[in-house]
Structure formats: C-alpha cells, structure tokens
Amino acid sequence: MRVGLVSPYSFDVPGGVQFHIRDLAEQLIDQGHEASVLAPADEGTVLPPYVVSAGRAVPIRYNGSVARLNFGPIAAARVGRWVSDGDFDLLHIHEPVTPSVAVLALWAATSPVVATFHTSNLRSRAMQAAYPLLRPSLEKINGRIAVSEDARRTVTTHLGGDAVVIPNGVRTSYFGAARRRPQWCGAPGRPTIAFLGRIDEPRKGLPVLAEAMPEVLRALPGARLLVVGPGSSEAARSRMPAEVAAATEFLGAVSEEDKAALLASADIYVAPHTGGESFGIVLVEAMAAGAPVLASDLPAFVRVLDGARAGATFRTGQAGDLATQLTGLLHDRERRDELAARGRRRAEVFDWDVVTRQVTAVYETVLDARPRPRGVASLRQGGGSR
C-alpha cells in the first residue's frame, strides 16, 4: 500500500517522534510498501530519500520545550500538494494536535487517516483550547493509536472514545549487537554511569543526577558519569558541584552507533527525567543493549520497565533517593546482571518487527472500513493491501 507519514517536528533535530517515523517508514519500505514522509526541514538538510520537506521550521516554545514547527499559508499549500501528488491509500499522521504540518495534513486529507498520539503532556492550554476548533478535522481520523497508556489517557480525556496502544518500536537486534568500548567500560572501583538526553533541558533530569552525584562519589570516588546529548557542556558543568564536574565526561551529541556502544558498555544507565515523558524509548534501547536501568518512577517508565521488574526505579526528582539506589546498585554486581537480563527479555516486546505487524494491522483494518458503494462484493477481501 501507499502510506503517507506526517511528522509535525523538524527532521533537522533529533527527537523521539522523528526517529519513530523514520524507523516506521524504513520498516514499511522493507516490507514492500511505499512510504513517503512529510516533515519540516531546513533547506540544505540532508534527508533520507523517502522524506519530503515541508519547508523551513520555526523554533517556537511549545508544550514546555522548544519545538521546531511549520505553519502558515505557504506550509499549508505545500502540504496540500504533497497530499494530492502522493495519491496515498492512507495517511498516518503523528501528533495530529500540533500547530504544524500535522494539523494541515489532517485538514487536507481525503483518504482514510490513522493518527498516532505520542504525548501525555497536558500542560499546553492552547492544545486544550484548540480541541473544539479541531474537532471536525479530528473526525477524519479512522484509527487512533497511542504509544503508551499515558498517551491513551490523554486521548480519552480530550477527544473521548479510545485508542489502541501500540508501543514505540526499537531496533532491538541493532542495540543487542552493539560492541562494548573499553573507554566506556567500568573497572573495579571506577564504575561508569550513563546519561542520555538534552543537557540544557531540565525535564531530562541532568540537574537531579548532578545533585545525587556527590553522595555517590563519596561512596565510590572513582565513579565516572558519561553524559551524551546536545547542549552547552560548559553551562552544564558550571551548574555542577566541582567534584561532580571533575568526574563527568561530556560526549556531546553522538551517532546511533556510539550511543548503542555506550549503553552496552556502561555499568548502569540512569534516566532521571522529571516529567513530560509518555514513553521512554531510551529505556528500551538501554535494555536492548544490555544496560541495567535505573529510572525515575514516572508512570510511563514504570510501565516500560514492566512494573519496575525489568529495571530499578527511584522517586522522581528526589536526588537523595537516586543517590541511595545508584550507590546500592553500583555495589551489587549480581543485581545489575539480573536487571540487565530481565531488561533484554522485556525489550523484545518493543521490537520493530512486532510493532510494525501491529501498525500494518491497523492500516488494513482502516482500509477495510473505507466507505464503499453499497453491496457486499469486497466484504471478504483479505488484507486490504494493494
């Protein structure tokens, strides 16, 4: 089938939703479907061949962080052209309630529409105010997917009705096959702690981890904190206590390969996020790579960790609790190995093969539900694909 995927967020900057759309498009193409992705992108950005740029995105504060969005009459015209040129069997729009190409594509859609809701963040008043305005457009959606129970709750609260939960996919075999790098592996007395995420984004929790580190360093003076993620390392360093800054290595934004290697090498991965997360894809990546996970007990994280069985948790935002748990785990090799083994098994549920099968089942169901001329001719037509 021909699927048009719409990303509201720019492909210039990495992000969970963008990666999800990229991977899904590649999975669909691998399975012999045709997929085209429409996303905002700056001119000159190198895009994969299946991505069509919806024009330059404007950085704007939205939903508690800076998002690069695309709106206005020119964007609307571009979206309309992509929709009509693409002649898609169906459109799969991600985050349909974003003031960006997602809303524009929904507006322009004439084919069946599948929508995936990623966010569980209710902070945006604008979003709540916009629901009545968008409702007629949202009625074009034939199948709703939520990436997590929390995202599903957002849908139920604001739109009524329900959504099917299909988790984010992770290339578990890719992360599972990652090689360890000696420079990131811990040694006796010198364990390595990995953190991933924008370092200037407090929601990602680096400040909480930095606050917990002095106590960890008192117990384990040789501990090393490896920080991966975009943002100014000088600013982050200056906000840390001196001994923590000395024990921290900022690796900047790294490639997927390096990320996988870091997760495979580190003695523990810490996810100290303070909120706004509806899924926690990094947690799955860490589990797939074999890193024991210690995460804040956000509902979404607890669920990804299979009710905290596949990873350890601490009280969200509580540096003291984090320090205790982290120190305990770093001293307990056996427990870490056990968590890593359970994590690997848990990660299988999120493998892209499994997830893609579920997503294509949604596509087929939605295509089966196309309004058609009266008659039962195609009632039993299998699959619905072309």
Partner 1 sequence: MSALEWSALVLALVILIAWYLSYSAARLDRLHAKVEGALSALDAALVRRAEASLELANSGALDPASGFLIAGAASQSLERTTERAFESDLLEGQHFAGSEGVESELTEVLLAALPDDVIARTRDDGGLGAAALERVEAAGLRVQLARRFHNDAVKEVQRVRGKRVVQLFRLAGHADLPQTVELDDSFPRARDGS
Interface with partner 1 in residues 70-89 (CB under 8 A): none
Contact between 361 and partner 1 by CB under 8 A: the answer reads yes
Strands (E) across 180-317 are located at 192-196, 224-228, 248-252, 268-271, 293-296, 312-314
Q: How far apart are CA 132 and CA 153, in angstroms?
A: 18
Q: How far apart are CA 226 and CA 8, in angstroms?
A: 31
Token readout for 165 is 């939960």
Contact between 365 and partner 1 by CB under 8 A: the answer reads yes
- Name the residue with tokens 């003076």: 221
Q: Identify which range of 54-62, 200-208, 252-260, 374-382 contacts partner 1 by CB under 8 A.
A: 374-382
Token readout for 301 is 């994280």
Contact between 133 and partner 1 by CB under 8 A: the answer reads no
Contacting partner 1 (CB under 8 A), which of 30, 85, 87, 139? 139
Q: How far apart are CA 130 and CA 153, in angstroms?
A: 18
Measured over the CA atoms of residue 151, residue 156, residue 159 and residue 164, the dihedral's sign is positive
Contact between 362 and partner 1 by CB under 8 A: the answer reads yes
Interface with partner 1 in residues 20-79 (CB under 8 A): none
Contact between 136 and partner 1 by CB under 8 A: the answer reads yes
Q: How far apart are CA 261 and CA 84, in angstroms?
A: 43
Contacting partner 1 (CB under 8 A), which of 23, 149, 200, 297? 149
Q: How far apart are CA 109 and CA 31, in angstroms?
A: 25
Number of residues that bind partner 1 (CB under 8 A): 37
Q: Identify which range of 85-93, 120-128, 254-262, 353-361 contacts partner 1 by CB under 8 A.
A: 353-361
Interface with partner 1 in residues 322-351 (CB under 8 A): 349-350
Q: How many CA atoms lie within 13 A of 16 on its CB side?
A: 23
For partner 1, the closer of residues 18 and 137 by Cβ is: 137
Crossing angle of the two packed helices 333-347 and 281-289, in degrees rounded to 10: 110
Interface with partner 1 in residues 150-169 (CB under 8 A): 160-165, 167
Contacting partner 1 (CB under 8 A), which of 27, 148, 192, 327? 148
Considering the complex, what minimum distance in angstroms separates the CB of residue 29 from partner 1? Answer: 22
For partner 1, the closer of residues 321 and 368 by Cβ is: 368
Residues 6 or more apart whose CB falls under 8 angstroms from that of 112 comprise 89, 90, 91, 142, 143, 366, 367, 369, 370
Task: Catalog residues that contact partner 1 under the rule CB under 8 A.
Answer: 136, 139, 142-144, 148-149, 160-165, 167, 303-304, 306, 349-350, 354, 358, 361-362, 364-366, 368-372, 374, 376, 379-382
